[in-house]
Chains A and B, each alone.
Chain A
Amino acid sequence: MEIEDDEILQGFIEESLEHLADIENDLLAIEEGGAQIDEDLVNKVFRAAHSIKGGAGFMGLTRIQELSHAAENVLGMIRAKKLIPTPEIVNVLLIAADQLQNMIEDVQNSNEVDITSHLIPLNAIADGTFSQPPAEAPPQPASSQAKAAEKTPQVSEVAPPADPPPLPEPILQPDPVVAEEPVVAESATEINDIEPTGHYENSDDDSAYPEEENNDEIAPPPGDITVKAKQGTQAKGETSLRVHVSLLDSLMNLAGELVLSRNQLLQTIGSDNLRNAEAVGQRIDLITSELQEAIMLTRMQPIGNVFNKFPRVVRDLSKKLRKSIDLTIVGKDVELDKTIIEAINDPLTHLVRNSVDHGIELPEQRKKVGKTERGLVILKAYHEAGQVVIEISDDGKGLDGEALAASAVQKGLITAEQAQVMSDKEKVNIIFLPGFSTAKEVTDVSGRGVGMDVVKTNLDQLGGNVDIISEKGAGTTISIKLPLTLAIIPCQIIETGGERYAIPQVNLEELLRIPANQVKERVERVGDAEVVRLRGTLLPLIRLSDVIGIERTYYDHQEDQIKPDRRELISDRRGKESPLLRREDEPAKKASKNRNEYPRSVIDRRYSASSALNIVVVSTGSMKYGLIVDRLQDSEEIVIKPLGRHLQQCKGYAGATIMGDGRIALILDVSNLARMAQLTSIDRSDRAAEVAKAAEEALKAKLDRQSLLIFKNSETEHFAVPLNQVERIEKIKRSDIEDLGGKRVMKYRGGSLSLICVDDLAMVQPLADHENLLVIVFNIAKRAVGLLATGPIDALEVSAEIDDTTLSQPGIMGSIIIDNQTTMLVNVFEMVQSLFPNWFIEQEKFVVEEIEEGEPPNILIAEDSKFFRNQVKGYMTEVGYNVIEAEDGVEAWDKLEEFGDTISLLVTDIEMPNMNGFELTQRIRRESRYSQLPIIALTTLASAEDVAKGQAVGVNEYHIKLDKERLMVSVHDYIKRRH
Chain B
Amino acid sequence: MTDNSAAGKNRTIVELATFYVGDALCGMDILNIQEINKLMQMTKVPQAPDYVLGILNLRGQIVTIIDLGRKLGLGETDISQDPRNIIVNSAGGHVGLLVRKISDVVTADMSKREAAPANMRGIQGEFFKGVFKTENTLIGILNVEKVLSLEE
Determine if B133 is an interface residue (Cβ-Cβ < 8 Å). no
In the complex, B43 has a CB within 8 A of chain A: yes
Chain B residues positioned under 8 Å from A550 (CB to CB): 46
Q: Which of A633-666 contact B (CB under 8 A)?
A: 641-650, 652-653, 656, 658, 662-666
* Residue A549, interface by CB 8 Å: yes
- Residues of chain A within 8 A (CB-CB) of B91 are 645
Give the complex CA separation of A647 and B43 in angstroms: 13
> Bound complex: CA of A664 vs CA of B48, how far in Å?
15
A114 in contact (CB, < 8 A) = no
Q: Which of A528-579 contact B (CB under 8 A)?
A: 548-550
Cβ–Cβ < 8 Å partners of B52 in chain A: 646-647
Cβ-defined partner of B94 (8 Å) among A644, A662, A666? A644
Closest-CB distance, B62 to chain A (whole angstroms): 5
B69 to chain A, nearest CB (A): 16
**In the bound complex, CA of A702 to CA of B140 (Å):** 77
Which single member of A497, A647, A649, A652 contacts B55 (CB below 8 Å)?
A647
Asked if A290 is an interface residue, CB under 8 A from chain B, the answer is no
A278 contacts the other chain (CB 8 A): no
Q: Nearest chain-A residue to B43 (Cβ)? A: A664
CB <8 Å contact, B63 and A645: no
Q: Contact between B57 and A663 (Cβ–Cβ < 8 Å)?
A: yes
| Residue numbers in B under 8 Å from A549 (CB-CB) | 46-47
* CB-defined contacts of A650 to chain B, threshold 8 Å: 45-48
The CA of A611 and the CA of B43, in the complex, are separated in Å by: 26
Contact (Cβ within 8 A) B63 A548: no
- Interfacial chain B residues near A548, Cβ < 8 Å: 46-47
B62 with A641: CB separation less than 8 A: yes
Q: Would B45 and A662 count as touching, CB distance under 8 A? A: no
Q: Does A293 contact B (CB under 8 A)?
A: no
A499 at the interface (CB under 8 A from B): yes
A662 touches B44 (CB 8 A): no
B37 CB to closest chain A CB (Å) equals 14
CA distance A656 to B57 in the complex (A): 10
Chain B 53-64, CB within 8 Å of chain A: the 1/0 string? 001110011111
Q: A658 CB to closest chain B CB, in angstroms?
A: 5
Among the listed A645, A652, A653, A666, which residue makes an inter-chain contact with B93, where contact means beta carbons less than 8 Å apart? A645
Is B92's CB within 8 Å of the partner chain A? yes
Q: How large is the interface on A (under 10, 10 to 19, 20 to 34, 35 or more residues)?
A: 20 to 34
Q: Mark A614-650, 1 if CB is under 8 A from B, else 0.
A: 0000000000000000000000000001111111111
* A549-B46, A665-B43, A666-B43 given; A646·B95 CB < 8 A: yes
Q: Which residue of A lies closest to B52 (CB)?
A: A646
Chain B min CB distance to A407 (Å): 41
In whole Å, how far is B46's beta carbon from the nearest beta carbon of chain A? Answer: 4
Q: In the complex, what residue of chain A is closest to B51 when comparing beta carbons? A: A646
A contact face: mostly helix, strand, loop, or mixed = loop
Which residues of B lie under 8 Å from residue A663 when comparing CB positions? 41, 43, 57
CA distance A81 to B56 in the complex (A): 68
Q: Residue on B with the closest CB to A643?
A: B62
- Kindly state whether residue B49 has any CB partner on chain A within 8 Å: yes
Is the Cβ of A643 less than 8 Å from the Cβ of B55?
yes
The listed residue (A643, A646, A665) touching B150 by CB distance below 8 A is: A646
Q: Which of B47, B57, B92 contacts A644 (CB 8 A)?
A: B92
**Assembled-state Cα–Cα distance A648/B47 (Å):** 11
The answer for the CA separation of A306 and B47 in the assembled complex, in Å, is: 41
With CB as the reference atom, state the residue of chain B lying closest to A548.
B46
Expressed in whole angstroms, the minimum distance between the Cβ of B91 and any Cβ of chain A is 8
Contact A647 B64 (CB under 8 A): yes
CA distance A109 to B139 in the complex (A): 47
B66 at the interface (CB under 8 A from A): yes
Q: Please indicate the chain B residues that have their CB under 8 angstroms from the CB of A653 in the complex.
A: 45
Given A499-B43, A647-B64, A650-B47, do A642 and B57 touch, yes or no (CB 8 Å)? no
Smallest Cβ distance from A402 to chain B, in angstroms? Answer: 47
Contact A642 B93, beta carbon cutoff 8 Å: yes
A436 CB to nearest chain B CB (Å)? 35
Across the two chains, which residue of chain A brings its CB closest to B63?
Answer: A644
Residues on B with C-beta less than 8 A from A642 are 62, 93
Known: A649-B49, A664-B56, A664-B57. A644 touches B64 (CB 8 A): yes
CA distance A644 to B150 in the complex (A): 11
CA A643 – CA B52 in complex, angstroms?
12
Residues A652 and B150 in contact, CB atoms below 8 Å apart: no
List chain A residues, Cβ under 8 A from B61. 641
A549 to B45, CA, bound (A): 10
Check A644–B46 contact: CB distance below 8 A.
Answer: no
- From residue A461, how far is it (CB to closest CB) to chain B in Å? 20
Q: Which residue of B lies closest to A653 (CB)?
A: B45
**Which residues of A sit under 8 angstroms from B95, Cβ to Cβ?**
644, 646
- Residues of chain A lying within 8 A (CB to CB) of residue B148: 646
The A-contacting residues of B in range 11-70, CB under 8 angstroms, are 41, 43-49, 52, 55-57, 60-64, 66
By a CB distance below 8 angstroms, the chain A residues around B92 are: 644-646
Cα–Cα, bound, A653→B45 (Å)? 9
B91 closest partner in A (C-beta): A645
Q: Which partner residue on chain A sits nearest B46 by CB separation?
A: A548
A664 to B58, CA, bound (A): 10
| CA distance in complex: A644, B63 (Å) | 7
**Cα distance A160–B52 when bound, in Å?**
59
In the assembled complex, the CB of A118 is this many whole angstroms from the nearest CB of chain B, namely 36
Q: Chain B residues near A656 (CB, 8 Å)?
A: 43, 55, 62
Q: Give, as a whole number of angstroms, the nearest-CB distance from A12 to chain B.
A: 21
Give B128-152 interface residues, CB cut-off 8 Å to A: 148, 150
In the complex, A860→B101 CA distance in Å?
A: 96
Known contacts: A549-B46, A644-B95, A646-B52. The answer to whether A662 contacts B41 by CB under 8 A is yes
Interface digits, B104-117 against A, CB 8 Å rule (1 contact, 0 not)?
00000000000000
**In the assembled complex, how far is the CB of residue B32 from the closest CB belonging to chain A, in whole angstroms?**
16
Q: Are B62 and A664 in contact (CB under 8 A)?
A: yes
Given known A-B contacts A641-B62, A643-B62, A644-B94, A666 and B57 have beta carbons under 8 A apart = no
A677: shortest Cβ distance to chain B, in Å? 12
Query: A646: which of B44, B49, B56, B60 is its contact (CB, 8 Å)?
Result: B49
A21 to chain B, nearest CB (A): 29
Please indicate which of the listed interface residues B62, B92, B95 has the most CB atoms of chain A within 10 Å of its own CB: B62
Interface centre among B52, B63, B91, B94 (most CB of A within 10 A): B52
A499 / chain B contacts, CB cutoff of 8 Å: 43-44
**In angstroms, how far is the closest chain B Cβ from the Cβ of A449?**
38
Q: Are A662 and B57 in contact (CB under 8 A)?
A: yes
Q: Once bound together, how far apart are the Cα atoms of A647 and B94, in whole Å? A: 12
Contacts of A652 in B (CB 8 A): 46-47
Question: CA–CA, A666 to B93, complex, Å?
Answer: 17
Bound CA–CA A649/B92 (angstroms): 14
Q: Enumerate chain B residues within 8 angstroms of A647, measured Cβ to Cβ.
A: 45, 48, 52, 55, 64
**B66 close to A646 (CB less than 8 A):** yes
Contact A658 B55 (CB under 8 A): no
> Contacts A656-B55, A663-B57, A664-B56 known; A646 to B64 CB distance under 8 Å?
yes
Assembled-state Cα–Cα distance A644/B148 (Å): 11
**29 sampled A-B residue pairs with Cβ under 8 A:** A499-B43, A499-B44, A548-B46, A549-B46, A549-B47, A642-B62, A642-B93, A643-B45, A643-B62, A643-B64, A644-B55, A644-B62, A644-B64, A644-B93, A644-B95, A645-B92, A645-B93, A645-B150, A646-B48, A646-B49, A646-B66, A647-B45, A647-B52, A648-B150, A649-B49, A649-B150, A656-B62, A658-B60, A663-B43
List 9 tightest A-B contacts by C-beta distance, closest first: A645-B92, A644-B64, A548-B46, A664-B43, A641-B62, A550-B46, A650-B47, A658-B57, A644-B93
Seed contacts A644-B93, A645-B92; 13 additional CB < 8 Å A-B pairs: A548-B46, A549-B47, A641-B60, A643-B55, A643-B64, A644-B63, A646-B148, A646-B150, A650-B45, A650-B47, A653-B45, A658-B62, A663-B43
